[in-house]
Chains A and B, each alone.
Chain A
Amino acid sequence: MGEGIEGDNMPDVLRVVHYLNAFFGGLGGEEEAHTPVSVHPGALGPGRLLEQALAPQGQIVATIVCGDGYFADHEEAVVAQVRAHWQTLKPDVFIAGPAFRAGRYGLACGRLCLEAERRQIPAVTGMHVENPGSDLYRPEHLYIIATEGSAVGMRSALERMAALAIKRGHRQPIGTATDEGFLPRAVRRTVHTGTPAAVRAVDMALKKWRGEPYTSELTVETFEAIPPAPPLHDPSTALVALVTEAGLVRQGNPDRLPAAAATHWASYHVAGMDRLVAGEWDAVHGGYDNTAALQDPNRVVPLDALRELEREGVIGKLLDDVFVTVGNIGSLNAMKRIGAEIAATLVQRGVQAVVLPAT
């Protein structure tokens, strides 16, 4: 999905496949929302305006239409059908929508664009920032042109979608989100502004104080809410594992866990150990004062307490290995992968509950 170098064998005229819902495809309104997938040669509805914006560099070879309700009810089947059409139509670029604030339409556009990208077909869609498709698909790094809430913004949306689609189709460098008009897609790059941070800070503060418009340089992220797992039916029979981001490692750090920004994890065999013995463990996590952890590693990874619960029959059994990574300044993407890898191992070994001491 990144920028590329313009190739030698780039097509003169890009083959564009456009996706519309049944309403914009002229197949009726809400009552037609259950219209199944159909393919129409050339441009349809707003696609005609899109084609004007694409010309002469791109041409709409076909329009795929599907009702939003039908898509929602048969998502996987629709995706499979669209994939099959792409194989026949061989698009250089896929354009979906714009969906404005229409939620189900936005979700369909986002899903199909993601599917196209996974098949190396550059994709562009458009929607309002509050469309649920924006929340769902921006973290997937899709290019979503920011539009107004309704079709009154059709022309400007299509013009920007066409301009971006041409660049993407020709593998030309893509500008910033501000330059191109797409919604932040969770990809950032460090740039030179030419003005020191202190000057920019005071300038921004004065604008803010005067009530003048300013743009924060850092869009604050929203984090995924993780719902707690349902309670264990019967802990006394459960196999329980200890997993930690506390960076507690065997003395000598044999697995070379870093102090920050970990990209891997380690596991240590604790079968037969009643407690973690000071001196045999080090705490390499670079974010906390590890004096107490070195004096008694059980206070970071409470093996002693879990053994007690095991003896008392409160839990069934503790897994023979503890799993460790370093959470300090962890990349969320790396942590997601590490979490998934550890979880897969735990599931394979029949673990039913995990204690996650954090630091």
Chain B
Amino acid sequence: MAHDAGAFRLEVGVFPIQRMIFASETRYQDEMLNLDRTALLAAIAEPRVIANVEIHLVHPGESCRLIHVLDTVAPMAKVQGRSTVYPGFFGTTMPAGDGRNHLLRGAAVIVCATFPEPTSGALSPVEAIIDMSGPAAPYCACSDLVNVVLVCHPTPGVTNADFDAALHRAKLKAAGYLARATAALTPPTVETYELSPVDPDLPRVVYVDQLHQQGLMAQTFLYGKHTQGLEPTLLHPNEMLDGALVNGNYRAPARAATYGHTQNFLVQELYRRHGQDVNFLGVVIGRGWQDSQLLKERQGWMMARMARLLGAQIAIMSADVGGTGGNNTIDFMQTIKACEHMGLQTVAVMQESGNPDGSDPTVVDFVPEANALISVGGIGWHTPAAPVVQRVIGGTTVQPSIAEEPRDPSGPLEVECWYGAIWKRAELGLSAVDV
């Protein structure tokens, strides 16, 4: 069949989710999913690597805390078209962004696990916690969703690398399994995503997305492959909606998420305004955390060059939904600088590191060209203290920092290791001001 890929016209059939219960048969009806736990287990089982999977359902408002959270995934499945969702992990890899998906909106798959081998340094999972209710919940990604939580336990003797690879397969298979419950149903609403031609006088905008890639447990997958040697490249936003980027980064609590890649707030906003006040050209991706100053400068120019060759007039930047921090801020600043030097009007979304009294410098690097920054805050800030919870999923102790002793996870918590905190601050509209 000719021309059955590459149109980049994606229909998303949206099935709202209000509630999930365990049942003898997996079935979607009236915004509720009945879930056959045994069938889901069978769909994701890899006993050679994952000895045991606990499956839990949690709802917003519950006195429930999820700990050792590694990643969150939007439940979706391809129901028409040749490509797949989360392409590259299963079967042939071909360009995504076409056809029709079914999406369970209001739900997520969450994977929680403890790795079998000891780790330290950057390539380590760092504690990340979701409270489903209480004062900290608004600052936790996915606390407002109905979540299917997979707590995965490794088979003895398995390596971290093998276990991690299996976790990616498990979460993505689970996401597909859940959404396929709607495969034969007519979606209540269908959203169509395509970058149709618009008024040529509208400013041409690219989204420049700096990905996190350092190694195992600090990586981002593009079409199933880590992005270690990635040179900046171009994505149609539909490829992101389809899950071309999958998260394997557990390095900071405010990390990227597969859910955040597919529902990226800047992609959503630029799509919303495409044809209204912007002409959205596409997404330039590249990896941050380059290994030297020269490579960081090179990275900046390579990102900007891609945007310039696309004919963009405006670049809007973020470091995925995980935020800027230390090392990657240098790559980020070099990209801002290069974009400005190539004539793009550049705005970049950043977090501000700093202590609660607000008196620290807020970014570790800067260039004078960074003259239009959006802050999602972070300095002069304490997330409200979280109370005791009735239910804990994901482990038996929490260790908010390696500088602290592990402790009872159900107790009150006054910490900053909330899962997806930067992403939530961006969505909630937090910023920082001089006071």
Contacts and interface: CB of A to CB of B under 8 A. Distances in A.
A216 B432 contact: no
Contacts of B309: none
Contacts of A177: 433-435
B433 A209 contact: no
Contact of B278 (A194, A204, A206, A256): A206
Contact of B432 (A191, A260, A293): A191
A293 B121 contact: yes
A256 B402 contact: yes
Interface in B379-435: 379-381, 401-404, 425-435
Which of B346, B362, B425 is most buried by chain A, counting CB atoms within 10 A of its CB?
B362
A30 B380 CA distance: 43
B377 A209 contact: no
Contacts of A294: 120-121
A338 B426 CA distance: 32
A329 B431 CA distance: 19
Contacts of B426: 196-198
Interface in A205-232: 205-206, 208-209, 214, 216-221, 223
Interface in A166-210: 174-178, 184-202, 204-206, 208-209
B265 A196 contact: yes
B40 interface: no
Contact of A185 (B273, B427, B434): B434
B354 A286 contact: no
Interface in B92-136: 120-124, 126
Interface stretch (A32-40, A59-67, A277-285): A277-285
B123 A289 contact: yes
Contacts of A208: 314, 345, 347, 372
A286 B401 CA distance: 11
B195 interface: no
A286 B269 contact: no
Nearest to A249: B120
Contacts of A307: none
Interface string B232-259: 0000000000000000000110000000
B377 A191 contact: yes
Contacts of B362: 188, 218, 221
Contacts of A125: none
Contacts, number: 228
A38 to B, nearest CB: 36
B402 A205 contact: no
Contacts of B122: 285-290
B199 interface: no
A257 B362 CA distance: 22
Interface residues of A, number: 64
Interface string B312-335: 011010100000011100000000
A256 B405 CA distance: 9
B35 to A, nearest CB: 32
B121 A197 contact: no
Interface in B352-377: 352-355, 357-364, 366, 368, 370-377
B350 interface: yes
B354 A290 contact: no
6 contacts: A201-B266, A204-B374, A256-B404, A289-B122, A290-B120, A331-B354
Interface of A: 141, 174-178, 184-202, 204-206, 208-209, 214, 216-221, 223, 247, 253, 256-261, 282-291, 293-294, 328-329, 331-334
Interface of B: 120-124, 126, 203, 205, 214-215, 218, 251-252, 265-266, 268-270, 273, 277-278, 313-314, 316, 318, 325-327, 345-350, 352-355, 357-364, 366, 368, 370-381, 401-404, 425-435
Given A189-B380, A193-B430, A219-B434, 10 more contacts: A178-B433, A187-B358, A188-B380, A188-B432, A188-B433, A189-B432, A221-B361, A257-B402, A261-B353, A287-B326
Pairs A-B, 9 closest by C-beta atoms: A290-B121, A190-B377, A189-B380, A198-B269, A258-B403, A177-B434, A190-B381, A197-B426, A184-B434
